[in-house]
Amino acid sequence: MSKNNKKVVPESGKALDALKYEIAAELGLPVGKQGLAGANVEFATELGSIPSHSIKEDYWGHITSRDAGAVGGTITSRLVKRAEEMMFNL
């Protein structure tokens, strides 16, 4: 079975990334540039639960599967809602 990860609209990548980080910030997840300055990340690195050298701008490895899934689910919900709004406005 082959995977097809090609985007239907390749230009949508930046918009999807922006939405991903917006939702992560709303959920309080320490990712991206916002997460680097966050007190939660600083505290966690001091305790050793997150190695400080592992936190990068686009690093999600310290995020639980549940939280990452919440971001993906929220993205899907928002995109479906936007599509429904567009259909009702036609």
Residue that wins the pLDDT comparison between 57 and 64: 64
Residue 75's pLDDT is: 93
Within 13 A of 35's CA, how many CA atoms are on the CB side? 27
Task: Say what percent of the chain tops pLDDT 70.
Answer: 66
Q: What is the mean pLDDT of residues 33-61?
A: 53
Q: Kindly report which listed range (2-6, 30-34, 55-59) carries the lowest average pLDDT score.
A: 55-59
> Which candidate, 27, 39, 33, 38, places its Cα nearest to that of 67?
27
Condensed to tens digits (0 to 9), the pLDDT of residues 75-89 reads 999 999 999 999 988
Q: How many CB atoms lie within 10 A of CB 21?
A: 18
> Which candidate, 10, 13, 37, 32, places its Cα nearest to that of 22?
32
Condensed to tens digits (0 to 9), the pLDDT of residues 3-17 reads 677 778 888 888 888
Residue 53's pLDDT is: 52
Q: What number of residues does the chain have? A: 90
